[in-house]
């Protein structure tokens, strides 16, 4: 399923894998130098929560890095004024950074709302990750950290949001918690999102499509004559050519061929399809009950994303005048400067 917000789930590893050392002794970060202003000052107010400039600039730098990498790989010349949607590429990275900032802030807002704070286990995992990432020495890790405009304190702040997200995610899967959806909400969500759980008997066409078709017909006959169709289906699926086993899909996500997705969505729980032929081979599907834990997690991610999209965002003159192209050009220049030793 594609709903899990991996950026949050993995933020601990992604951030701490590039950090170490202490704060930079009061020296302005690369982000602040590139922007030309104090990045510790409030830049945005999201959902009533003040957000310092560095948090937005961190995501802006990341969005710019990604665009730069894509252009480099394609061999095309980067043009920040290229048309994208109703604006420019520069507008898009600026908006993307704002969406990322709003998402992280929404996690913090929900943690406050639902009373989740970091546990001792959370704190221990932060410390353990820190020790592992700085085992080779803090000096190199610190240089990597500074290239992102971060300090240890800032890196841990971002990583902590990932842990808050994980805690809230667990809450939504815990029956009776204030974040847990009802069964009616989950059922409506599954229908709305086109989520289905299926198992599959698959015989690849390979070099002998006729033989594969014959195997599928034999399996279909066995299913029709089975006293316990579920048991026979599971045995046939295990012995056939699809090792993935039962899987939860969202119609349109590409995990199955479109013809198979359509057939799966049309099945009732416990019902088997007929023999479905695609270019790859011959399939028989069986609709299973959805995994309530996985479905609740998907529901949570969509609710979080919707909340982040709808949260109030107050900007100011400093944000409005920020030019991503100028910022990124300055940031790249700073990154290329030789290190200064004290």
In a domain, 278, yes or no: yes
Contact 161, 7 (CB under 8 A): no
Residues 116 and 175 occupy one common structural domain: yes
The b-or-e profile of 138-162 (16+ CB within 10 A means b, else e) is: beebbeebbebbbbbebbbbbbbbb
Could you tell me the residue range of the domain that residue 277 belongs to? 184-291
In a domain, 253, yes or no: yes
The H or E element spanning position 277 is strand 276-277
In a domain, 106, yes or no: yes
For the chain, the C-alpha Rg in angstroms (whole number) is 25
How many Å apart are CA 331 and CA 33, to the nearest integer? 8
Q: Does the predicted TM-score (pTM) go above 0.75?
A: yes
Beta partners for residue 341, in sequence order = none
Residues 10 and 80 occupy one common structural domain: yes
Residues 17 and 119 occupy one common structural domain: yes
In a domain, 307, yes or no: no
Residues 166 and 17 occupy one common structural domain: yes
CATH number for 218: 3.10.50.40
In a domain, 137, yes or no: yes
In a domain, 283, yes or no: yes
Rounded average pLDDT per 10-residue block, the chain, 342 residues: 45 45 61 96 98 97 96 94 94 97 97 95 86 76 80 89 95 94 93 93 95 96 94 94 87 91 93 96 95 91 96 97 97 83 48
pLDDT confidence of residue 172: 95
Contact 257, 200 (CB under 8 A): no
Query: Can you read off the two tokens belonging to residue 203?
Result: 């015989």
Residues 158 and 192 occupy one common structural domain: no
Angle at 225 between CA 224 and CA 229, to 5 degrees: 70
How many Å apart are CA 174 and CA 181, to the nearest integer? 9
pLDDT confidence of residue 245: 86
pLDDT confidence of residue 20: 38
Residues 71 and 166 occupy one common structural domain: yes
In a domain, 299, yes or no: no
Residues 81 and 157 occupy one common structural domain: yes
The residue among 129, 144, 58, 12 whose CA lies nearest residue 327 is 58
pLDDT confidence of residue 133: 74
Q: How many domains does the chain have?
A: 2
pLDDT confidence of residue 127: 85
Residues 63 and 203 occupy one common structural domain: no
pLDDT confidence of residue 80: 96
pLDDT confidence of residue 11: 47
In a domain, 302, yes or no: no
Residues 280 and 326 occupy one common structural domain: no
Residues 43 and 114 occupy one common structural domain: yes
Residues 23 and 106 occupy one common structural domain: yes
Residues 15 and 109 occupy one common structural domain: yes
């Amino acid at each position: 399923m594609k709903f899990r917000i991996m950026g949050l789930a993995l933020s601990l590893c992604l951030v701490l894998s590039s950090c170490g050392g202490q704060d930079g002794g009061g020296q302005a970060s690369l982000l602040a130098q590139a922007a030309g202003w104090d990045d510790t000052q409030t830049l945005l107010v999201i959902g009533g929560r003040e957000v310092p400039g560095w948090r937005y600039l961190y995501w802006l730098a990341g969005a710019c890095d990604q665009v730069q990498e894509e252009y480099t790989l394609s061999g095309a010349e980067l043009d920040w004024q290229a048309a994208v949607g109703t604006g420019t590429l520069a507008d898009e990275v600026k908006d993307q950074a704002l969406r990322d900032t709003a998402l992280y802030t929404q996690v913090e807002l929900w943690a406050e709302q639902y009373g989740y704070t970091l546990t001792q286990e959370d704190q221990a995992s932060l410390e353990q990750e820190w020790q592992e990432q700085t085992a080779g020495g803090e000096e190199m890790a610190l240089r990597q950290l500074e290239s992102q405009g971060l300090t240890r304190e800032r890196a841990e702040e971002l990583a902590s949001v990932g842990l808050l997200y994980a805690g809230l995610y667990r809450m939504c899967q815990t029956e009776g918690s204030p974040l847990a959806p009802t069964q009616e909400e989950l059922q409506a969500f599954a229908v709305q999102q086109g989520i289905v759980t299926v198992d599959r008997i698959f015989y690849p066409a390979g070099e002998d499509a006729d033989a594969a078709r014959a195997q599928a017909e034999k399996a279909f006959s066995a299913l029709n004559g089975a006293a316990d169709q579920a048991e026979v289906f599971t045995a046939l699926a295990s012995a056939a050519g699809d090792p993935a086993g039962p899987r939860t899909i969202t119609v349109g996500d590409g995990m199955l061929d479109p013809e198979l997705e359509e057939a799966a969505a049309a099945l009732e729980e416990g019902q088997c399809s007929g023999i479905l032929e695609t270019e790859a081979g011959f399939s028989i599907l069986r609709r299973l009950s959805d995994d309530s834990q996985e479905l609740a997690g998907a529901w949570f991610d969509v609710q979080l994303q919707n909340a982040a999209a709808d949260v109030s965002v107050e900007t100011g003159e400093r944000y409005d005048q920020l030019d991503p192209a100028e910022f990124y050009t300055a940031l790249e220049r700073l990154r290329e400067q030789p290190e200064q030793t004290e």
